[in-house]
Structure 1
Amino acid sequence: MSGIVLSASVRQNLLSLQSTADLLATTQNRLATGKKVNTALDNPTNFFTAQSLDARAGDINNLLDGIGNGVQVLQAANTGITSLQKLVDTAKSIANQALQSAVGYSTKSNVSATITGATANDLRGTTTYTSATASSNVLFSGAAGGTTAATAATTLGGTSATLVGTAAADGAGTAASLAFGLTLAGTPSATTIAANGAPSDGETLTVNGKTITFKSGSVPAAADVPAGSGVDGNIVTDGNGNSTIYIGTTATPTATVQDLADAIDLASGVQKAVISGGTATLSNSSGTNAAIAAGVLTLHTGTGADLSITGRADLLNALGLTSSVGAGDATVTRQRTITSASLGTLIQDGSTLNVNGKTITFKNAAAPAAANVPAGSGVNGNLVTDGNGNSTVYLQGGTIADTLKAIDLATGVQTASNAGGSATLTVASGQVASSIVAGALQISTGTTSDLSIIGTGNALSALGLTGNTGTGTSFTAGRSAAAGSLSGKSLTFTSFNGGTAVNVTFGDGSNGTVKTLDQLNAQLLANNLSATVDSTGKLTISATNDYASSTLGSATAGGAIGGTLTTAITFTTATAPVVDATAQSVRSGLVSQFNGILSQITTTAQDASFNGVNLLGGDQLKLTFNETGKSTLSITGVNFNAAGLGLANLVQGTDFIDNAATNRVVSSLSSASTLLRSQASALGSNLSIVQIRQDFSKNLINVLQTGSSNLTLADTNEEAANSQALSTRQSIAVSALALANQSQQSVLQLLR
């Protein structure tokens, strides 16, 4: 080939064609491989850098499998914990069922003693007490100067006072002709109340808290009135001071002012009504009956209450009782007077005293006849008693002596024998009836209970029972302690099953002493003991349900009884608890169910594994997060079988045997639940870390592979454009070579 001679132009075109072919080959290789760096010869720096990045990405990718397995191990453990928690909750429900079932003993260990007369309100009983005397403040009569001491005969009610009206505005005449109705317009009438004063249907007057109602129409027949009510004239009264007055019609008024006066008297207690067969027979009860003379209405208070009338002003004005006018209400009052025969402070109608739980009511009325008292009750003087200590004292004739009798009946100092509506009072054996000395009430407490008096209205203050300041809201006094009294005696119990030792002193309930059953139980509760008292006064102190299986005073449980009370009364020797076979059978069945749950807890913990790793079985999980092995996470497993959770199989006849044993199991289950929740939290935290690192590794692999690609990958768009350009250049070079050879072809033609 060296002998061939090419022209310069041909050689130049040939070189160009060879260069284009080389470039085209390179471009086609890049398009075929997709890389611009295929070997170290292409770009040593990029080639080896990319190779290093790819190698690291591959190493991390290999670690992802281990990380994924670690995630599954953690999830398996978490699933196991969830199931274990449900099993523990099931076990807890079984334990709670044991707590709710009957205690396993029909009788718990106890000691008892009988205290005569002991009640839940006073454990000290009655036989060891004598009645004491409590003095009230000095009471004075209504004599001038207010210094005369009251006596037993001093009345509770006052002296009737008079309320005198004025002549009616229309010149009303006598009571017999003064009818309710309307006047002719502008024409006064002697037989009717002025038009603006006439009562209308449904209108009411309130007298001393009683209601008088005006009703249109004629009064009903006796046979048609409500049971217990009666008719008198145009009035229907219920016998308790409430009345309905039938006023007829506008055209034909029927009711008279006398009817209204009688109704007011019934409400104020001046008159009383005896009802029989629907008919009411009215008679004077206290004071003087209302009357009308020369058009003037005169009313009187009763002796048992002051007079108060509230109603429409125009009506009261038409009656001459007020100068007020209008459709609004007006009130007219008149107070009783007090004298040397009555208390200086009169007791208000409706006031009450509550004495040792019994009620004494003061009522504005005269004492009823024996035939009219409620069945089972009896009247004695001016009081009616039900025989159980509850009484009503009638103010229109009642005295201090009647009040003292009522108090004695409530305290038990006196008793009542009721027969035929009459009450015969007897002072109880060994008691002294209450009295009044130098104006001060001398109230016997009785022996049944300490004295406690509270009141409503003004009864407490009117009787001097509000203390030195006069503002007291109760009056109390304790009984006197007799020889052998339980007051001041102590009762002790040593610590029972880890409780707080008891040392109580019996007394009136003040200064830390114990009087009531509630106070005693408050002291016993902290020592796992409780007390009861029955109707015979038998005080029983026993173990609570929590320690129903324990024996009081035993070496193992404690709770030995002592104190000076044990020398005053005799306590029984502590009895052993008596097994309830049925209840224990139920609890034994629950023990078996519980043990079955524990077995499932253990097997569930054993099954919570993945790929041979069990974090609930004590295995350790170690995860590597980078290719150098320097970034790792070690997770130490736990043993969450029944024993690992602090749970053990229950023993028949020992566990669930009483509430204390059951509560210990409940406590261990609560601890197991806490342990499971704590471990679940730790696993959740670790799982979060692993998942974060898993995501990080995936993203890092992507970064490394992208970086490697950026160093070696070819731009296919560019290489395609280069291929097209080189193909064009190659065609041009071939054409140029052909042109360069044309001169030699001309010489060839000459040689031919």
Structure 2
Amino acid sequence: MADISLSNSVRSNLQSLKGTAEMLSQTQNRLATGNKVNSALDNPSNWFTAQGLNNRASDLNQLLDGMANGIQTLKAADNGLTAMTKTLESMQSTLRQARQDKSFETASYTLPDSGLDNTSQLSFDGGAVGDTPVAINLTSQTNTAEAATTASTQTGIALTDTLDTIGFTADGETLIIGDGTDTVTFTAADFDADTVGDLITAINADADVDVTASLNDDGQLVFTADDNEQQITVAGTGTVGGLAAQAVPDAVYVAKTVDELVSEINQNSDLDGKVRASNDNGKLRIENQSTQDLSVDGATSAGAIDGSSSDASTIGGNEVRADLSKQYNELRDQLDKLADDASFNGINLLRGDNLSITFNETGTSSIDIQTDEGATLNSANLKISTTLEESDLDSDSNIDSELAKLKSALGDVRSQSSTFGSNLSMVENRQSFTKSMINTLETGAGNLTLADMNTEAANLLALQTRQSLGQNSLSLASQADQAVLQLIR
């Protein structure tokens, strides 16, 4: 096909229109995509630099999900710690209420006017006392009876009188003196000088029998037991002044007063903090300082002390403290359940799970969040009594000990809450930092590749104008060729 020859002016205008069309197409493409660099062909340097920045921004954006989940996991743990703190404070309040409650049960007993002896006692067991009874004697244990004494019917006897004066003459005659346990036999042949004084001296010098011999003012030979719990026996073949045996006298014991019993009960170390006594207008009032029933032996069910009754009188326990122990155990159970339920997305920091969060795209910056040594925050690890028995609230000192445990546990929970709070602040700070970095990277990439829409719109308008003018110019150039056509016609 033969080439078509165009005039120089037409060819020039066509070239101009062609260039304008190319620029117009480029401008329209930028307006359509919003980018001034759409491929490496447009600007290799800007294109690959922007790609690197966008790739890093994308990597960081993926890490934001892990940070967001980490923040929610920490918030879930903080929710659990907050609830556990309130529960521990409620447990403290329960124990303080028990500590302040003094509504212990009491019973008053009447002391008898008579009928008590040295075996009469008031005994306590059960309650805070335990299974081993603690007994209090109801009478004074000092025997006030007079010692046994026997005196000869014969009077006017002198120490210098011979033994035959009192009917103790022949060498074969015997005098047997006993104290109810041991006896000693004396014969006239036992003495160098056979006088009443010699006999008295021999009897008093003998260590085997606890009897003392003497002459009274009436000149009677008198035998006296050394204490009031011994008898005197007199036997033998001689007359010995009409001496007669004497049995142990009936013991005399003095009943203690209410005030004496109150003092003795309250000063008994085995009853201290367990039973308290007081004078109730002449009656003995016993207070059971326990949540368990106290058994009082030696008193009747009618409230009379007889010193012998068994299992007849019972004083109930403190029901308020008993109920508070149940409340305490319910709160403690909730404490463990709160720790078990404080999980997010399968991770429970309160059970010792490890939360690992990565902060940068290379993995060189991260944080591992976990309780100390991965321990579970529960009642056992917080050293709180797993089960509080009713009897554990009997003693104020024991309640104080439990309060001390709760105080320590509360300190541990608050410390852990502070640690998690610090970790949460750190993760939130890194989250904000990462978002800012993503924005910076994307802005930097945009600066390299994004088109200025205002500029491109102005360019489009200018190119359209230029295109219109070029078309007019081409039309004018074509008119010269048409003039030649007119000459041919």
TM-score, normalised to structure 2's length? 0.57
Compared CA separation, residues 595 and 724, structure 1 to 2 (3 A)? same
Aligned-pair CA distance for 1:26: 0.8
Residue 71 of structure 2 corresponds to residue 71 of structure 1: yes
In the alignment, does 2:434 pair up with 1:700?
A: no
Alpha-carbon contact 1:23-1:726 (below 8 Å) kept: yes
Q: Which amino acid aligns with 2:267?
A: I
- The structure-2 alpha-carbon separation of the partners of 1:537 and 1:105, relative to structure 1 and needing over 3 Å to count, comes to closer
Q: Secondary structure of 1:669's partner?
A: helix
TM alignment of 1:239-638, pairs within 5 A: 541-543=267-269, 548=274, 581-637=315-371, 638=375
Question: Equivalents in 1 of 2:322, 2:261: separation in Å?
Answer: 37
Which residue matches 2:24? 24
Mapped to 1, the partners of 2:10 and 2:391 lie a distance apart of 116
Matched residue SS, 2:356: strand
Task: Name 2:61's counterpart in structure 1.
Answer: 61
The CA distance in 1 between the partners of 2:271 and 2:11, in whole Å, is: 120
Q: CA deviation at 1:742?
A: 2.1
Q: Give me the whole-angstrom Cα distance separating, in 2, the residues matched to 1:82 and 1:584.
A: 33
Name the counterpart of 1:98. Answer: 98
Percentage of matched positions with identical amino acids: 46
In 2: Cα distance, 1:79 partner to 1:543 partner: 48
Distance 1:670 1:545 in 2: 30
2:472 maps to 735
Say what the alpha-carbon RMSD is for the aligned residues. Answer: 3.1
Are the structure 2 counterparts of residues 651 and 580 from structure 1 closer, same or farther at C-alpha, using a change threshold of 3 Å? farther
Q: CA deviation at 1:693?
A: 0.9
Q: Whose strand proportion is higher, 1 or 2?
A: 1
Which whole-Å deviations, capped at 9, do the CAs of 1:75-118 have from their partners, x for residues lacking one?
111111111111111211221222223387978989999xxxxx
Taking the aligned partners of 2:32 and 2:101, their CA distance within structure 1 comes to: 85
Number of residue pairs aligned between Structure 1 and Structure 2:
305
Amino acid at match of 1:634: D
Cα gap change, 1:580/1:686 in structure 2, threshold over 3 Å: closer, same or farther?
Answer: farther
Kindly indicate whether the alpha-carbon contact (under 8 Å) linking 2:103 and 2:320 is maintained by their aligned counterparts in 1. no
For residues 556-596 of structure 1, the C-alpha deviation after alignment (integer angstroms, 9 at most, x for no partner) is: xxxxxxxxxxxxxxxxxxxxxxx985335443332222211
Do structure 1's residue 683 and structure 2's residue 416 form an aligned pair? no
Separation (CA, whole Å) in 2 of partners of 1:53 and 1:720: 27
AA at the equivalent of 1:672: A
SS in 1 for 2:385: coil
Name the counterpart of 1:13.
Answer: 13
CA positional deviation for 1:717: 1.3
Give the distance between the partners of 2:403 and 2:486, measured in 1 at CA: 121
**CA 1:653/1:597 → structure 2, altered by over 3 Å: closer, same or farther?**
closer
SS in 1 for 2:393: coil
CA distance in structure 1 between the aligned counterparts of 2:261 and 2:359, rounded to whole angstroms: 82
Secondary structure, aligned partner of 1:623: strand
For the Cα contact (< 8 Å) 1:546–1:660, is it kept in 2? no
Structure 1 or 2: more helix by fraction: 2
Determine if the alignment matches structure 1 residue 714 to structure 2 residue 451.
yes
For 1:580 and 1:604, the matched residues in 2 are separated by: 42
CA contact (8 A) 2:328 2:388 kept: no
Instruction: Report the 3-state secondary structure (helix = DSSP H, G, I; strand = E; otherwise coil) of the residue aligned with 2:267.
Output: strand
d(CA) in 2 for partners of 1:686 and 1:674?
18
Where do residues 668-679 of structure 1 align in structure 2 (5 Å cutoff)? Answer: 668-679=405-416
Q: Deviations over 1:49-78 (max 9, x none)?
A: 111111111111111111111111111111
The alpha carbon displacement at 1:542 in A equals 4.7
Displacement, 1:2?
Answer: 5.0
3-state SS of paired residue (1:655): helix
- Asked if 2 retains the 8 angstrom alpha-carbon contact of 1:103 and 1:658, the reply is no
| CA pair 44-538 structure 1, distance change in 2 beyond 3 A | closer
| Counterparts of 1:26 and 1:544, CA distance in 2 | 105
Change (3 A) 1:726 1:656: same
Aligned-pair distance for 1:627? Answer: 1.3
Q: Once the 2 structures are TM-superposed, how far is the Cα of residue 41 of structure 1 from its aligned partner? A: 0.7
Aligned counterparts of 2:433 and 2:81: Cα–Cα separation in 1: 28
Structure 1 residues 682 and 542, CA, compared in 2 at 3 Å: closer, same or farther?
A: farther
> 1:720 is aligned with what amino acid?
A
SS of 1:647's equivalent in the other structure is coil
For CA contacts below 8 A with separation 6 or more, give which structure has more relative contact order.
2
Aligned AA for 1:600? Answer: Q
**Structure 2 unaligned spans of 5+:** 107-123, 138-257, 276-312
Alpha-carbon distance, 1:20 to partner: 1.0
SS of equivalent residue, structure 1 residue 634: strand
- Larger Rg belongs to: 2
- Please say if residues 356 and 368 of structure 2, whose CA atoms lie closer than 8 Å, have aligned partners that are also in contact: yes
Describe the SS at the equivalent of 2:361: coil
Query: Structure 1 residues 735, 653: CA separation in 2 closer, same or farther (over 3 Å shift)?
Result: closer
User: Alpha-carbon deviations, 1:585-623, whole Å to 9, x = none?
Assistant: 443332222211111111111111111111111111111
Change over 3 Å in CA distance of 1:99–1:722 after alignment to 2: same
- Once structures 1 and 2 are overlaid, which stretch shifts more, 581-590 or 716-725? 581-590
Q: What residue is the counterpart of 1:35 in the other structure?
A: 35
Contact 1:103-1:659 at 8 Å conserved across structures: no
- Contact preservation (8 Å) 1:625, 1:632: yes
Give CA deviations for 1:173-225 in whole Å, capped at 9, x if unaligned. xxxxxxxxxxxxxxxxxxxxxxxxxxxxxxxxxxxxxxxxxxxxxxxxxxxxx
Counterpart of 1:461?
A: none
Secondary structure of the equivalent of 1:583?
A: coil
Deviation at 1:652, TM superposition (A): 3.0
The question of whether the paired residues in 2 share the 8 Å contact of 1:104 and 1:657 is answered with no
Deviations for 1:615-659, whole angstroms, at most 9, x for unmatched residues? 111111111111111111110134122212212333536522312
In 1: Cα distance, 2:315 partner to 2:75 partner: 47
What does 1:121-200 align with in structure 2 at a 5 Å threshold? none
- 1:695 maps to a residue whose letter is S
Q: Work out whether residues 103 and 548 of structure 1, in 8 Å CA contact, stay in contact via their aligned partners in 2.
A: no
TM-score normalised according to structure 1 size: 0.38
**Deviation sequence 1:653-695 (CA, Å, 0-9, x none):** 6522312222221111111111111111111111111111111
Structure 1 residues 112 and 582 mapped into 2: Cα distance closer, same or farther (>3 Å)? closer
- Where does residue 83 of structure 1 map in the other structure? 83
Distance 1:620 1:536, change over 3 A: closer
Give the Cα–Cα distance (whole angstroms) in 1 for the partners of residues 35 and 96 of structure 2: 74
* 592 and 545 in structure 1: CA distance in 2 versus 1, 3 angstrom threshold: farther
8 Å CA contact 1:112, 1:541 repeated in 2? no
The residue type equivalent to 2:408 in the other structure is: S
Deviations along 1:308-338, one digit per CA (max 9) or x if unpaired, are: xxxxxxxxxxxxxxxxxxxxxxxxxxxxxxx
Structure 2 CA distance for partners of 1:728 and 1:695, relative to 1, 3 Å: same
User: 2-side partners of 1:672 and 1:661: how far apart?
Assistant: 17
Match of 1:725 in 2: 462
Sort the Cα spacing of 1:658 and 1:2 in 2 relative to 1 into closer, same or farther, 3 A.
Answer: farther
Deviation at 1:537, TM superposition (A): 11
Note if contact 1:102-1:583 (Cα within 8 Å) is conserved in structure 2: no
Q: 1:87 to 1:609 in 2, by over 3 A?
A: same
